[in-house]
A and B are shown apart, each in its own frame.
Chain A
């Protein structure tokens, strides 16, 4: 729990006010007044309230204060204001922050203070003469959904560390709080495992330049923590694992053509004990490297043709009495889930795990990604919550898909709770994620493809369900995208027009 209170002391300027239309996502409660105050960069301070549980030395906040000072005023030096005597009496401008429980050295959630500073920074505006103003404003704010994520895919294309860190910055501007890191997939295995270094040595695009070392991962986690963002790591199995194969002989199922192995490989081999030994060791490492309570275990799009071709799998099925491959898949996933829960971790899985009726623990989170199959995604949300599981929505929010025009509008209009169900069911929807799959995305086009489109989803997940006015959203989002540009983010335009400060080509 945290809160921050605004105590902007005075230095009254003229009466004309400019509105706070750059605020994104829109707060739950906001009242703006005409009265405005001048902010003097040299005199402005962030300060801890005397009664605050967090005080100077709280790294998360100290760092946030510094960051937002830079975002607001830049790092340049500003002329000292020449105060009149009267103004001097009225004192400095101070933003007083008060935190009820500190958690400075914990992993998120300290995000509400973080978010409060972001909102504050969006309220400040600059006159044509370069003076900073803020209008008298009252805000009470909290997110509608606790899980507001962005998925990045570092397997189809490697993303340099700087791309990831920059994305975390912009996520914070948009009040996203989960970085879903789809680390590995068929195409490459950039995560450097210290228990199984061969995985990256043989499975990455380049074992020197296209990998994430333990230090890189640590840096991402800490950078995210300082911004109130959780890192949800995904290691997708048993499908989407071709890149694991070269580094761990025997892990993948050899596919057969006729009675002989064809030389190609399929999903993880669920029939061998060695598979589970490996997974047990591997996920022990993952559980300790990633501090978040949750791991994402994937489980999507398992292709049964390779399993079907393999006589050893067939024999194993017979022994176990399985009549179809969904049972085999279930067997694998259940065993994996048991392993992971032994490490005191919770888990998120893609919807197929639910669709294929794998028996999972009641606290499993199911992520809905398919738009129409097997059912419309809203129906899927209904069924998942009806079965008592928590649900995450990402089906309508695949940002890697592009079309001509302002497609953010369709994403904005999605109402995650627009399904038939009890209020208890709706309470099981913990949020959603904007997904940026990497088949056609790397660091050359990631940023403009992500922003401000992901902003639409950020507001949907943060703001009240009543915040749906498209014209109002368009105005604020246009304004906010210019603010992102000002902060150096290569956010693309949503319509014709311009920003005072355009993106500068390097």
Chain B
């Protein structure tokens, strides 16, 4: 009654996995794997009541940096779990002790800033007794290093906290490592978003791509246009108030995660229509106006006045230098049915080419964003349809067929690119599909070094048609972890068996930290 009659390979795998679990206990289950790791067999003991994470004497950060203070507290908790202090200090017989982790920021700390695409996340870690050193140029590297340090500590079979002497130097391969969540198809409670940010930090993701609105609902509460969510949300309790958004932004900042909001237009906008009159195009059937509406109406001046005000608000609410403008899957049928649109096309000399109308619209929006001193990210159709882009526009490649060729094309044209095509995690299948995500090599296309440098990273997308707070976490983790390592670790880190044995333990670690990450395969966690 097993799902597949081919039982032997799976069984073997299970046994191998068990064996691997047993023997791999010596090597740390680091995830994602750092750029350079040297682990000595020499062990240090850590007594929770005699261990401290603190600022190094020469650090540019001090206890006034609450971003680090919070991180110290968080990681102490992750390392020691619900460890209860015993009475009196525990003394280990003989073994060397680790008593302190000193965290030093060498350049201006950026403690109170928001992370950006060029934030320095590099760090180095020297683990030796009695004091270990974590050095980073900025707080962002310190956050990543704390995560790595926490992954080095394990409990030996007597329950003692142990760490190997080690030297690690690390920095990410790609600057943009994102998770897309979709809060329109299903509303996600703020708590679920915060949990996701926690898990992202465990996997060194640094971008939350917040696909906040779409056809189905408009949960973003705009101060300039409150009717958008009043009328366009699923219900008045299914909204993100300015306070909610602030909370997400600040929580993300504390984990070194950028929040890039997406307001997808001109398609995928049905929910906008309810609260903003005349924004959407009325569709016609046989020259008669119907109740139906299509994409944004690109022919009216009021449309652009609206977006000017709207994006003015967005650019001040969201601190990131980028806004995602969508631009995917524009349906031309409604536009072509509408006589006013036809007239406009004629006047502009677009003929019957609706791509030109689309270009006209998007160009206007891009200009608005530029005037607000923000950069734009768009889905690949905008590039495919030959819209005139700004030189700094980033193109996100999401269509699965020939995505490497598309990366080549986009970068050949000199634009920066983000890859998400092979990483649509909402598409589920039976078995270990993480391997499929893991074995993607984003730079496996023909192109110059310069072109490859234009690939700034990738995103794991969890679209929301069948996902809400009930199943988001186990569907995302640890499958997204595979993408996390691909985007962080050097391109030489590709050994799938080694990845399996580390990921199994990383998954258990996430579970112990309160993330309901689903199992990779048969087995169990220590707790």
Contacts and interface: CB of A to CB of B under 8 A. Distances in A.
Instruction: Report whether chain A binds chain B.
Output: yes
Interface of A: 156-158, 186-188, 205-206, 209-210, 242, 300-301, 303, 350, 367, 369-370, 373, 394, 398, 400-406, 435, 437-445, 447-449, 485, 490-498, 500, 502-505
A435 B466 contact: no
B14 A187 contact: yes
Contacts of A186: 11, 14
A498 B522 contact: no
Nearest to A182: B1
10 contacts: A157-B524, A394-B1, A403-B428, A403-B429, A439-B10, A439-B521, A492-B466, A500-B237, A503-B189, A505-B191
B186 A497 contact: yes
B471 A490 contact: yes
7 interchain residue pairs of minimum CB distance: A448-B471, A445-B474, A498-B234, A205-B524, A444-B516, A445-B518, A492-B471
Contacts of B465: 495-496
Interface string B496-508: 0000000000000
B470 interface: yes
Given A405-B466, A439-B2, A498-B187, 6 more contacts: A187-B14, A188-B524, A401-B3, A442-B518, A502-B238, A505-B192
B467 A442 contact: no
A324 B186 CA distance: 57
B469 A503 contact: yes
B1 A369 contact: yes
A439 B189 CA distance: 30
Interface string B457-482: 00000001111111101110000000
B3 A157 contact: no
B430 interface: yes
A401 B186 CA distance: 23
Contact of B466 (A400, A444, A494): A494
A370 B526 CA distance: 34
A440 B186 contact: no
Interface residues of B, number: 52
A206 B527 CA distance: 9
B195 interface: yes
Interface in B16-59: none
Contacts of A490: 470-471
Given A400-B430, A404-B466, A497-B234, A502 B471 contact: no
Contacts of A209: 527
Q: Which of A188, A403, A439 has the most CB atoms of chain B within a 10 A radius of its CB?
A: A439
B7 interface: yes
B189 A502 contact: yes
Contacts of A350: 1
A158 B469 CA distance: 24
B234 A158 contact: no
A443 B525 CA distance: 11
Nearest to A395: B1
Q: Which of A206, A438, A440 has the most CB atoms of chain B within a 10 A radius of its CB?
A: A440
A285 to B, nearest CB: 24
B7 A398 contact: no
Given A440-B431, A496-B185, A496-B464, A435 B516 contact: no
B186 A498 contact: yes
Nearest to A155: B522
B5 interface: yes
B376 interface: no
Contact of A303 (B8, B426, B516, B520): B8
A325 B516 CA distance: 44
Contacts of B8: 303
Contacts of A438: 522
A382 B470 CA distance: 39
B519 A492 contact: no
Contacts of B521: 439-440
Contacts of B216: 496-497
B176 to A, nearest CB: 26
A210 B217 CA distance: 44
Given A373-B5, A498-B217, A503 B429 contact: no
A445 B471 contact: yes
Interface in B405-444: 426-432
Contacts of B431: 440
B428 A505 contact: no
B19 to A, nearest CB: 13
A61 B386 CA distance: 70
A492 B468 contact: yes
Given A448-B471, A493-B466, A505 B238 contact: no
B260 interface: no
B235 A493 contact: no
A444 B519 contact: yes
B447 interface: no
A406 B428 CA distance: 12
B182 to A, nearest CB: 10
Q: Which of A405, A492, A494 has the most CB atoms of chain B within a 10 A radius of its CB?
A: A492
B523 interface: yes
A491 B465 CA distance: 15
A401 B430 contact: yes
B258 to A, nearest CB: 23
A404 B519 contact: no
B333 to A, nearest CB: 21
B454 to A, nearest CB: 31
Contacts of A401: 3, 430
B466 A505 contact: no
B25 to A, nearest CB: 15
B400 to A, nearest CB: 13
B470 A503 contact: yes
Contacts of A447: 470
Q: Which of A373, A443, A497 has the most CB atoms of chain B within a 10 A radius of its CB?
A: A497
A205 B192 CA distance: 31
Contacts of B7: 301, 303
A239 B466 CA distance: 37
A439 B522 contact: yes
Contacts of B467: 492-493
Contacts of A403: 428-430
A502 B187 contact: yes
B369 interface: no
Nearest to B517: A444
Nearest to A400: B3
Contacts of A301: 1-2, 5, 7
Q: Which of B8, B185, B430, B474 has the most CB atoms of chain A within a 10 A radius of its CB?
A: B474
A370 B1 CA distance: 7
Contacts of B471: 445, 448-449, 490, 492-493
Given A492-B471, A503-B469, A504-B189, A402 B428 contact: yes
B153 interface: no
Contacts of A440: 430-432, 518-521
Nearest to B524: A205
Given A404-B427, A439-B10, A445 B522 contact: no
B200 to A, nearest CB: 15
Contacts of B187: 498, 502
Contacts of A406: 466
Contact of A157 (B189, B429, B475, B523): B523
B466 A441 contact: no
Interface string B256-269: 00000000000000
Contacts of A303: 7-8
Contacts of B469: 502-505
Nearest to B188: A502
A378 B172 CA distance: 55
A286 B427 CA distance: 42
Given A303-B8, A490-B471, A437 B429 contact: no
A148 to B, nearest CB: 18
Contacts of B427: 404
Contacts of A300: 1-2
Interface in B344-380: none
B511 interface: yes
Given A157-B519, A445-B516, A498-B186, A491 B470 contact: yes
